[in-house]
Amino acid sequence: FLLPLFWSGKAAWLCERSSVAVLDFYRYHNVDDYHSLVNRNLGDALGEFNYICQMHDTGLYKHKLLSHWRVSVNTSWGPYAVCNQLLGRRRCWGTLNGHVGRELAIGDTGTGQCTANSRIGSWFSFPEEGQCPNGQDVGFQGCTWGHAQRVRTISAACVLDARGLGQRCNGDTAASIDAATASILVQAFAPSGCRAFAPPHVVDGAPPPPPPPPP
């Protein structure tokens, strides 16, 4: 379900959920950009690996990192916003009242905002204006995400080469990436997985509780 709002001269929408959840997100990034997710794009395990595969053939992954974040979020997702560096600062274009944006990981831009996306995964945007003040829970003064904790940062080469996931990037990306692939990626972040590049870090106050175990 979608709730209509007026944004940038046209109708925009929020998913009709309004619940708060602690979720896991992943980000592929440069070696000097592991400290924050403000005004940045992330994905769930499937979604981010689809993005990594798009970059695999360039070989640049050998000099990149992957970070696992755990964040409390309002799941009334807004439209996905592209976040990038411009004129010396990071910005997100297309945010809606600070809501975390969401879309299907690959395919038509702007689709998948409120659907399951279980086969391909999802991409997310974390606008600065939606971040909760330090130590405050989601919902405080309308904030939409907070208690961000970087759980672990590892080398992308360890995931793609040592763990063999780079082989899944060949051919039809969407067809070769599945739940088993996402599971291997998640396991790479375990203490017994790839070596940590940097220690865990709680960005703003106490870390959120761990997500519930799967049913």
Indicate whether 55 pLDDT > 90: no
Which residue, among 157, 152, 137, has the nearest Cα to 189 in the 3D structure? 152
User: Is 203 or 77 the better-scoring residue by pLDDT?
Assistant: 77
CB contact set of 60 (below 8 Å; sequence gap of 6+): none
Indicate whether 202 pLDDT > 80: no
CA atoms within 13 Å, Cβ hemisphere of 12? 21
C-alpha Rg value of the chain to the nearest Å: 17
Indicate whether 49 pLDDT > 50: yes
pLDDT tens digits for 94-106? Answer: 888 899 999 999 8
CB contact set of 84 (below 8 Å; sequence gap of 6+): 90, 91, 93
pTM: 0.85
| Mean pLDDT on 140-147 | 96
| Mean pLDDT on 70-86 | 93
One-letter amino acid of 151: V
pLDDT score recorded for residue 200 = 67
- How far is 106 from 132, CA to CA, in rounded Å? 29
User: Is 85 or 206 the better-scoring residue by pLDDT?
Assistant: 85
pLDDT score recorded for residue 5 = 44
User: Is 134 or 87 the better-scoring residue by pLDDT?
Assistant: 134
What backbone phi and psi angles, to 5 degrees, belong to 161?
-100, -65
Indicate whether 209 pLDDT > 60: no
- How far is 119 from 128, CA to CA, in rounded Å? 29
For residue 137, how far is the Cα from the chain centroid?
A: 19
User: Is 196 or 214 the better-scoring residue by pLDDT?
Assistant: 196
pLDDT tens digits for 102-137? Answer: 999 986 677 999 999 988 899 999 999 999 999 999
Distances (CA, A) of 176 to 42, 61, 76, 98, 171: 21, 19, 30, 34, 8
User: Is 180 or 75 the better-scoring residue by pLDDT?
Assistant: 75
Average pLDDT over the chain reads: 84
Between 1-10, 39-48, 49-58, 151-160, the lowest mean confidence (pLDDT) is in 1-10
pLDDT band at 143 (very low <50, low <70, confident <90, very high): very high
